[in-house]
Amino acid sequence: MSVSPYGFGINQRFSTKGVSQMSIAAQMPTETSRLTTGVSLGLIALAVIGFVVWITHNGAAARAVIEQQRSDEIAAESRAFCEKWGMASGTQQHIQCVADLRAIRERHIKRTEEDYAF
């Protein structure tokens, strides 16, 4: 009998009967594995729902802060623009200038929204 490089005789045979039975048993899910899978999926779903709620809650607060900052920037720009053209802050001319700039911006936003509304 000659010996192969793998350490067994060439004429030696192996039975796969035990191996195939074991692999079939290993592939069959058990109640414990089903329960573990269900619990894992439940925890993942709970984590996703919690994340969505957290994002929604914090997203609204962040949006409010950004809107306030944008409003402050626009007010500062309007004030600077009107003062640049000689209308002192607090005067009737300045108030009218700021109102006119607001109207211009609103018309611009409306036109832009109309352009992108399909």
- Confirm whether pTM is higher than 0.85: no
Do the Cβ atoms of 82 and 97 come closer than 8 Å?
A: yes
Residue 8 in 3-state DSSP? coil
Average pLDDT, the chain: 82
Quick: pLDDT tens for 16-63. Answer: 555 555 555 555 567 778 888 889 999 999 999 999 998 888 888 888
pLDDT score, position 23: 54
The CA distance from 105 to 81, in Å, is 14
CB atoms within 10 A of CB 74: 14
pLDDT score, position 41: 94
Reading the block at residue 118, the tokens are 């399909």
Query: Angle between the 92-116 and 31-84 helix axes, to the nearest 10 degrees?
Result: 140
pLDDT score, position 16: 53
> Bridge partners of 9?
3
The CA distance from 48 to 50, in Å, is 5
